[in-house]
Structure 1
Amino acid sequence: MVSTSLTPLPVDVARIRTEIQTLQPQLVEWRRRLHQKPELGFREHITAEFIAQQLQEWGIEYQTGIAKTGIVATINGKKPGPVLAIRADMDALPIQEENEVPYKSQHDGVMHACGHDGHVTIALGTAYYLSQHRDTFRGTVKFIFQPAEEGPGGAKPMIEAGVLKNPDVDAIIGLHLWNNLPLGTVGVRRGALMAAVELFNCTIQGRGGHGAIPQQTIDSIVVAAQIVNALQTIVARNVNPIESAVVTVGKLNAGTAHNVIAAAAKMQGTVRYFNPHFEGFFGERIEQIIRGICQAHGASYELEYYSLYPPVINDERMADLVRSVAENVVESPLGIVPQCQTMGGEDMAFFLQEVPGCYFFLGSANPEKDLAYPHHHPRFNFDETALSMGVELFVRCVEKFCS
């Protein structure tokens, strides 16, 4: 990711239309209400009920219960035209909140620590505005309120349920509030924005014994240690240095006592990459390394390897559309971060495999207000000024795409 100062840039309120500025207190109220009632993936019942209540109150057509807790709403413009989808994820994380704020999570051990409460709020604000201004665009805007982005993933089951059909979606956009960028900035780029996410679980089976008599054993810890080191050579020696990829072993468990050689060792890890041509490569190479080292030591292994999300790949024309809109909302060129990337993953990727679209970052950090903790941190919070900025960006994207 491009290194960017977290000093917030001035937000030009004049570029946010008066009606959306007026909506800001309501956006804050919605966001804080959602923040107090966080729910894990596929359990977003309170969240979905709140969304449905708002949509019904505004006279917006919607369907509930898609992929368990998902909601799809449609707003038709003044005349027939293209169909643009706006996606917002709804789920929270299994984290105990440490913020001492009046709107602190009321659900023990669950917290909106990634900004999804803000995503829902921005989508709701956009839906409200467009429902009051149907004469400003042609075609249809379809709002996809998606469960379970944090896992196991709600995008794919929503697609399988037909959310991109009836009417058929021509393009899709979405945003992520982003505390790695300061308030007043937008991170948007063509091509890969976020990485593929692949996971593996491996058990090394050796032969246990006494720590003082190692010749009678097959030390699973020694085998596992060699595997961990060897896995780092995949990126270093099998991937073009111009490419970006990472292999991480995040968990390693083995042993029970000082003087006992462990019979088994268990490890878990993740692989990240941007280029889709790596699909299948890392799983095969990891197994080759594990198999070879185990054979050399007389150990055996069991390996589970699976893909969670593909990389998030933005369509060039849709990325250009979002950038052109952003340049009219934030201070340009300082406010545009064109090479903003992260090895984090997102199941928005599945939508972008189906239709052209653009996923982008909306800077939300403000260290001056102690609002710069990273995502998934128990003190994560963001500057709520970003909410009205998000609505303005979405509305302008609709007006430009559906003109």
Structure 2
Amino acid sequence: MDFEPSVSSEQLSAFRREFHRHAESGFSEFWTTAFLASRLSEAGCAVLVGEEALCREARMGVPEEAVQQARLAAALEQGADPYWLERMHGLTGLIADIRPDLPPHTVLRFDIDAVDVDESQSPAHFPAREGFRSLNAHESHACGHDGHAAIGLGTALELVRLKDCLRHNVRLIFEPAEEGLRGAAAMVKAGAVEGAKYFFAAHIGVNARQSGELVCGTEGFLASTKFDAEFFGKAAHAGAEPHEGRNSLLAAASAVLNLHAIPRHGKGETRIAVGRMESGTGRNVIPSYAKLICETRGSNTEVNDWMFEQARRILEHSAAMYGQECRITLMGGGGTAASDRAMCELVRRASENIPYFRHELVKDMGRGFGADDACAFLEAVQAQGGMGTYAQIGSHLPAGHHSPDFDFDESLLLPSVELFCRVALELDARK
């Protein structure tokens, strides 16, 4: 089918800037979900929210209730539609079906969460200069998911316009909590990709750092396990009765040093990181509690599982050395998946009709960037006999991902919508 987009670059930039202004952390994307649900429903999509879109019990790393209530109140204050907030029942993210009378055939994934980073206020930072810097402290779109959401919304508007020409259902997933690998498992558990034959997702930037560049598929993602470790000891007067205390800070510090001493695995790349350590209440009090926020990674699930088992053993033994109780809580995680070559070739062919993508900067396969929750969707589709790919859409980046100064080239939005539509239409012609 010949395709000419009707959505404009200006409209997509406006969407992107609204998402950027209302940046929300994982599982707290209340304003974002309500905005998307309202626009998609008005356009004629069948919208699934709440437990129709994801399994409540399968979520990991959900913010505390007080945090959720504060973020929900902020979303309401910023104009989120109460009708959709009510229907969500505290769950964020959504599914939009173009042809709900048919089972899912092609699934397109767009992540919508922000990063826990304070955004730059420098006049050199484009969102700050143009007045769409994040309204929410410590939450900003420093990874391009605002662009992904805008591309997803634009793609839905185009496909619903063409739905009478579609032979199959195209399902768009707007995933919450991609950061930390938390959202996809809950959506897969709810059946989001059940029966689907094709899967397509993309990320702005990553290892495609030139505008006009396109990587049609990705391999080499790292499997990962995200977890918190808590130590419970006993407080005591540090001067009068230090012998009565059981020092949680020392237990945690010992664990940190030994975690980073885990040997590398011979069967693949491995990573260990402790991102934060919390402990202590006062200068003269033996700390009775400590918390570590950690992750392991591996080039495959086997290697990552080995790393996590080594980490668990070190944490438990460090606790025992200092008379502590230790509690380890899983906060997220996922496996690894590789794009199918046939899907990479399809994406390449689709890009040939889009002037933004420069032929000399288009390649079939590239390396992953750490981990991405899209792997859970891709693995699930491949496990049921389907295929898929994860592309990287090139953009000049003034700063790296998760940096306060991160931004991207908005001129990629319309070509990206066209790419997703052309891929979906090509797949629709298949069985």
TM over 0.5: yes
| In structure 1, C-alpha distance between the alignment counterparts of 2:319 and 2:392, rounded to whole Å | 43
Q: Report the alpha carbon displacement of residue 119 of structure 1 after superposing the two structures with TM.
A: 0.9
2:94 paired residue number: 71
1:96 paired residue number: 118
- Normalising by structure 1, we get a TM-score of 0.77
SS at match of 1:364: coil
2:338 paired residue number: 314
| In structure 1, C-alpha distance between the alignment counterparts of 2:117 and 2:322, rounded to whole Å | 41
2:18 paired residue number: 33
Q: Report the alpha carbon displacement of residue 389 of structure 1 after superposing the two structures with TM.
A: 2.4
1:1-400 alignment, distance < 5 Å: 19-20=4-5, 23-65=8-50, 66-67=53-54, 68-76=91-99, 83-97=105-119, 98=121, 99-134=128-163, 138-150=167-179, 153-165=182-194, 168-178=195-205, 180-182=207-209, 183-189=211-217, 191-203=219-231, 205=233, 224-236=252-264, 239-240=265-266, 243-254=268-279, 265-278=290-303, 280-292=305-317, 297=321, 299-306=323-330, 308-317=332-341, 319-321=343-345, 323-325=347-349, 328=352, 329=354, 330-336=357-363, 338-343=365-370, 345-356=371-382, 357-366=388-397, 372-400=398-426
SS at match of 1:390: helix
Identity %: 29
| In structure 2, C-alpha distance between the alignment counterparts of 1:33 and 1:320, rounded to whole Å | 32
Compared CA separation, residues 171 and 220, structure 1 to 2 (3 A): same
Compared CA separation, residues 214 and 314, structure 1 to 2 (3 A): same
Compared CA separation, residues 292 and 51, structure 1 to 2 (3 A): closer
- Normalising by structure 2, we get a TM-score of 0.73
1:8 paired residue number: none
Q: Report the alpha carbon displacement of residue 145 of structure 1 after superposing the two structures with TM.
A: 1.8
Compared CA separation, residues 113 and 52, structure 1 to 2 (3 A): same
SS at match of 2:399: coil
Compared CA separation, residues 315 and 284, structure 1 to 2 (3 A): same
1:5 paired residue number: none
- When structure 1 is superposed on structure 2, of 48-57 and 348-357 the one drifting more is 48-57
Compared CA separation, residues 325 and 195, structure 1 to 2 (3 A): farther
| In structure 2, C-alpha distance between the alignment counterparts of 1:175 and 1:267, rounded to whole Å | 32
Compared CA separation, residues 263 and 333, structure 1 to 2 (3 A): same
In structure 1, list runs of 5 or more residues that go unmatched: 1-16, 367-371
- When structure 1 is superposed on structure 2, of 304-313 and 186-195 the one drifting more is 186-195
Q: Report the alpha carbon displacement of residue 275 of structure 1 after superposing the two structures with TM.
A: 0.1
| Higher RCO structure, 1 or 2 (CA under 8 Å, sep 6+) | 1
| In structure 2, C-alpha distance between the alignment counterparts of 1:73 and 1:60, rounded to whole Å | 6
SS at match of 2:172: strand
| In structure 2, C-alpha distance between the alignment counterparts of 1:352 and 1:274, rounded to whole Å | 16
1:3 paired residue number: none
Q: Report the alpha carbon displacement of residue 390 of structure 1 after superposing the two structures with TM.
A: 1.4
Compared CA separation, residues 217 and 338, structure 1 to 2 (3 A): same
Matched pairs, number: 374
Compared CA separation, residues 272 and 158, structure 1 to 2 (3 A): same
Contact 1:208 1:260 in 2 (8 A): yes
Give 1:348's aligned amino acid: A
1:11 paired residue number: none
CA RMSD of aligned residues (A): 3.7
| In structure 1, C-alpha distance between the alignment counterparts of 2:47 and 2:423, rounded to whole Å | 21
In structure 2, list runs of 5 or more residues that go unmatched: 55-90, 122-127, 383-387
Compared CA separation, residues 209 and 383, structure 1 to 2 (3 A): same
| In structure 2, C-alpha distance between the alignment counterparts of 1:393 and 1:46, rounded to whole Å | 27
Give 1:359's aligned amino acid: Y
